[in-house]
Amino acid sequence: SAPDRLALRADLLDFDADPGWAVPDPATGLVPGVRWRPDHWLLVEDGRIAGVEPAAAFTPDAAVWSVEDRRGRLLMPGFIDTHVHSPQLDVIASYGTELLDWLETYTFPAEMRHADPAVAVAGAELFLDALLAHGTTSAVVFPTVHVSSTEALLAGAHHRGMRLITGKVLMDRHAPEGLRDDVPGAERDSRALIRRWHGTGRLAYAMTVRFAPTSTPEQLAMAGRLMMEVPGLYMQTHVAENRAEVAWVAELFPEARSYLDVYHRAGLLGERAVLAHGIWLDDADRALLADTGAQIAHSPSSNLFLGSGLIGWPELEAAGARVSLASDVGGGTSLSMLRTLADAYKVQALRGVRLTAWKALHGATLGAAEALGLAHEIGALEVGRTADLALWDWAAGPVATHRDARARQLHERVFAWMTLGDERNLAATWIAGRALFRRAPIR
């Protein structure tokens, strides 16, 4: 159970604004938007952040506070993974295919097994505990087409008190038997899940269109109707990930101006729409994202692993579109947002763009929270926010330790941490002030 009052001493890092593409100050490593509060106490009361005090000026009374002195470690808001597939832990790191073959060869057969409630529950539990063991406290998640897997994920997240957004996957064509729904059944199941779970605890429901090829126009229209009808629903899908996929969508929807326009015509784009990938978009698409407020969940690990392409991240933002960071496991090869951000740097490097650690980390914390309309609740170490926290070692292993000792300013240090770090750096994860993950002590 949660201690009523928790005092946690560490180096505090978060953001109070988008650091953008600014180059770090050579001497300090800082840019505007970065909030660096080394050696501070973070105070948590009843699951919320209640105060932040410099360690030099404050000593918590152990009679009042449950005290955790973790000085020398890094405390950040828990990461937000804006696009990830819970059942795909079964096929993460599968060899040798691009998107459409990968779906048929590995993903669809694996997802089919989650029709079995026992498989679905075990899969959801494994997935949620794995998120916490990677320092991720919130996520926008694809389960499978089955109610069993959706229900298991929602119930598991609720039990853990996690801020999770998910919904039953909609797919009524171009998928094998056992992995398809139909419009009336999908509508009935979605409505029942919404009634039971949307707004329950910290959960929100997302109309979950797998991607345009696996939904009939009638199913897209049904999803659009529910978006209009139910306040606060999210929408998640994939868009413009792979060139063969884009060509297929153009064949299937000849009336649409573009892949993104298929969703727009169905009324699916809005402030709460989360579209994975968005690599193969044009200027009109970028303007449409900006006009509707829909966001791109950039998944660099997946984009590299499936050979999908290199996203124009600054171009999206220059057009006014919002971009957050996502693992896209099992197309992505790690649930670690540090690994994801390190891959994001490499993707931009291949395009001649320099991504700072600040911009990258912002997109996995406050930036994602803002894009999801949840910045009042998560994404920053700010009084009043829910205490969803991750505590990190600056280095794990001799090479990272060696490198960390040589950092001359803060950006250099944080960039090396982001580039060399992963879940082995994680010491603990809190959800609403409750420690739900602690690394086993090394004996």
- 169/380 with CB nearer ligand GUN: 169
Of 134, 139, 304, nearest in space to 206 by CA: 139
Smallest separation, CB 252 to ligand GUN (Å): 13
Smallest separation, CB 238 to Zn ion (Å): 6
Site string for ligand GUN, 68-87 (x = CB under 6 A): -----------------x--
Find the angle CA(260)-CA(274)-CA(240) to the nearest 5 degrees: 35
Total residues contacting ligand GUN by CB under 6 A comes to 11
Site string for ligand GUN, 311-350 (x = CB under 6 A): -----------------x--x-------------------
Smallest separation, CB 343 to ligand GUN (Å): 14
- 64/244 with CB nearer Zn ion: 244
- Which of 99, 164, 186, 203 lies at the binding interface for ligand GUN (CB under 6 A)? 99
166 binds ligand GUN (CB under 6 A): no
Smallest separation, CB 44 to Zn ion (Å): 33
Token pair listed for 212: 């345009």
Cα torsion 376, 381, 386, 392: sign: positive
- Which of 9, 163, 210, 298 lies at the binding interface for ligand GUN (CB under 6 A)? 210
* One-letter amino acid of 77: P
Interface stretch with ligand GUN, choices 14-22, 40-48, 99-107, 351-359 (CB under 6 A): 99-107
Smallest separation, CB 42 to ligand GUN (Å): 36
Taking the C-alpha atoms of 323, 325, 326 and 331 in order, what is their torsion angle to the nearest 10 degrees? Answer: 80
Smallest separation, CB 85 to Zn ion (Å): 6
- Which of 241, 285, 393, 404 lies at the binding interface for ligand GUN (CB under 6 A)? 241
Contact positions vs Zn ion (CB under 5 A): 276, 328
- Which of 9, 163, 238, 264 lies at the binding interface for ligand GUN (CB under 6 A)? 238
- 276/378 with CB nearer Zn ion: 276
Task: Enumerate binding residues for ligand GUN (CB under 6 A).
Answer: 85, 99, 103, 107, 210-211, 238, 241, 302, 328, 331
